[in-house]
């Protein structure tokens, strides 16, 4: 789609824009760094094959979430608080877990924290951690090309939800297979969740959010199923997807004007700290996914708390000097005007 009009992205003929002097080299892998050598194949694009099963399931889910919205006034206050707690837990399972820990290795987590993050990641039901991290590394390494699973060059709808409703582009599969995933294979927590994924999502995403309000404080099963379960699940999904869609389209590019990911405060708030996306694609190894630490960034506050409790360590940050030098070199100048 031609939404992108005048915007440009780095092509395979340009030299790398990422300086390799500070890419978090002590991480287990660096396959989340943009690879400018990949070239999209010439000629017509492969035909789109829609996965009707996913279309039907996603439509039913969103219809259920809409019904859940109308049930909010008849929900008990404690059920709404429970829904919020489930939202926060499942969002952290994606942001602090699948994203910053497992996709980018931006900090280290001890076993109890990894177990917690895997459990709440199942509550978010966004494919298992292994698959999520593989797709996400491909998203960074081949950003906005045919090998990017949710290539934003294909428009808002495709990068938001459309990519989950159709078969992957062959290059996504081909390049995804070549990524270094050895660190994930070596992580027993990740592989245990993958082996038991169906059972874990049934329990964490559907049964527990529904049964707890019904059993412990007598909420009706109808409200318990539609509000903390379906509505909460759908909100977390869309908040995550907005990082792939809106944060690749709307906002400033103070760190690198040559790439499309943007700084989007609305997405940062909704996705508990993941909307500083121009920064994140420029410095994917930063545990804060932002220049500004805990500001509008609950995920960073959570990781900081885990460090304080001794459950996390080795948080990777980019120095102020490196950030400023990068802003001056490739930024769009918007940082000077705030
Ligand atoms: Zn992105
Ligand atoms: Zn990322």
Cα 271 to ligand 1 centre (Å): 13
The domain ranges of the chain are 46-337
103 CA → ligand 2 middle, Å = 7
Cα of 33 vs centre of ligand 2, distance in Å, is: 10
Percentage with pLDDT > 90 across the chain: 84
The string of pLDDT tens digits covering residues 154-186 is 999 999 999 999 999 999 999 999 999 999 999
How many angstroms separate the alpha carbon of residue 93 from the centre of ligand 2?
A: 14
Q: Confidence class of residue 6 from pLDDT cuts 50, 70 and 90?
A: very low
Ligand 1: centre distance to CA 10 (Å): 14
* CB-CB neighbours of 91 under 10 Å: 27
Alpha carbons 176 and 161: distance in angstroms, whole number: 19
Helical pair 52-71 and 232-244, crossing angle rounded to 10 deg: 120
Residue 60: CA atoms inside 13 Å, Cβ hemisphere, count?
Answer: 6
Measured CA to CA, the distance from residue 154 to residue 145 in angstroms comes to 9
Query: Do 106 and 74 meet the contact criterion of CB atoms below 8 Å apart?
Result: no
Distance 45 CA to ligand 1 centre (A): 22
Q: 133 C-alpha to center of ligand 2: Å?
A: 9
CA distances from 322 to 156, 184, 283, 285, 325 (A): 32, 29, 10, 13, 5
Mean pLDDT of the chain: 92
What confidence tens digit (pLDDT) does each residue in 43-74 have? 888 889 999 999 999 999 999 999 999 999 99
Say how many Å lie between the CA of residue 219 and the centre of ligand 1. 39
Nearest ligand for residue 247 CA: 1
pLDDT digits (tens, 9 = 90+) for 178-236: 999 999 999 999 999 999 999 999 999 999 999 999 999 999 999 999 999 999 999 99
Greatest distance between any 2 Cα atoms in the chain = 62
Residue 238 vs residues 121, 269, 292: alpha-carbon distances, Å = 15, 13, 24
| CA 139 to centroid of ligand 1, rounded, Å | 7
Are 63 and 228 in contact by the 8 Å Cβ rule? The answer is no
Q: How far is the CA of 81 from the centre of ligand 1 (A)?
A: 31
Strand-pair partners of 313: 108
Please name which of 156, 133, 155, 153 lies closest in space to residue 144, comparing C-alpha atoms: 153
* 153 Cα–ligand 2 center, Å: 17
Please tell me the number of the ligand nearest to residue 103's CA: 2
Tell me, in angstroms, the distance from the centre of ligand 1 to residue 86's CA. 25
Closest ligand to C-alpha of residue 248 is 1
Could you tell me the distance, in angstroms and rounded to a whole number, from the CA of residue 204 to the centre of ligand 1? 27
pLDDT of residue 22: 53
CA of 68 to the centre of ligand 1 (A): 30
List of residues 6+ apart from 34 with CB closer than 8 A = 10, 16, 17, 18, 140, 141, 142, 143, 259, 281
More confident residue, 33 or 304: 304
Per-residue pLDDT reduced to its tens digit, 270-295: 999 999 999 999 999 999 999 999 99
Q: Looking at the CA of 260, which ligand is closest?
A: 1
Q: What angle do CA 251, 298, 24 make, to 5 degrees?
A: 75
Q: Which residues of 266-285 are buried (b: 16+ CB within 10 A; e: fewer)?
A: ebbebbbbbbbbbbbbbbbb
CA dihedral 12, 13, 17, 21 (to 10 degrees): 90
Using an 8 Å Cβ cutoff, are 34 and 143 in contact? yes
Residue 276 CA to ligand 1 center (angstroms) comes to: 10
Q: Which ligand is nearest to the CA of 245?
A: 1
Q: Report residue 252: phi and psi, to 5°.
A: -80, 165
Compute, in angstroms, the gap from residue 112 CA to the centroid of ligand 2. 23
Ligand nearest to the CA of 284: 2
Q: Please name which ligand lies nearest the alpha carbon of 149.
A: 1
């Amino acid at each position: 789609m031609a939404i992108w009009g005048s915007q440009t992205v780095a092509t395979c003929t340009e030299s790398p824009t990422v300086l390799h002097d500070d890419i978090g080299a002590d991480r287990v892998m660096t396959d989340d760094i943009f690879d400018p050598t990949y070239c999209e194949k010439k000629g017509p694009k492969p035909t789109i094959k829609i996965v009707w099963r996913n279309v039907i399931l996603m439509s039913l889910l969103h219809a259920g979430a809409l019904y859940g919205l109308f049930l909010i006034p008849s929900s008990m206050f404690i059920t709404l608080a429970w829904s919020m707690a489930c939202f926060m837990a499942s969002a952290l399972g994606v942001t602090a877990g699948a994203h910053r820990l497992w996709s980018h290795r931006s900090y280290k987590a001890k076993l109890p924290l990894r177990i917690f993050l895997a459990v709440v990641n199942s509550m978010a039901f966004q494919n298992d951690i292994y698959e999520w991290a593989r797709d996400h590394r491909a998203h960074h390494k081949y950003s906005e090309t045919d090998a990017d699973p949710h290539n934003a060059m294909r428009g808002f709808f495709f990068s938001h939800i459309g990519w989950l409703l159709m078969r992957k582009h062959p290059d996504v599969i081909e390049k995804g297979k070549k990524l270094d995933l050895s660190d994930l294979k070596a992580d027993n927590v990740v592989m245990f969740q993958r082996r038991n994924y169906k059972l874990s999502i049934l329990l964490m995403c559907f049964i527990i959010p529904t049964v707890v309000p019904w059993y412990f404080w007598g909420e009706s099963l109808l409200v318990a199923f539609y509000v903390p379960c379906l509505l909460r699940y759908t909100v977390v999904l869309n908040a995550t997807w907005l990082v792939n869609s809106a944060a690749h389209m709307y906002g400033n590019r103070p760190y690198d004007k040559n790439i499309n990911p943007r700084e989007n405060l609305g997405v940062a708030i909704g996705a508990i700290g993941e909307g500083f996306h121009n920064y994140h694609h420029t410095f994917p190894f930063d545990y804060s996914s932002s220049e500004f630490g805990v500001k509008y960034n609950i995920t960073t506050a959570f990781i900081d708390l885990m460090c304080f409790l001794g459950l996390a360590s080795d948080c990777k940050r980019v120095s102020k000097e490196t950030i400023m030098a990068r802003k001056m070199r490739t930024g769009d100048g918007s940082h000077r005007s705030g």
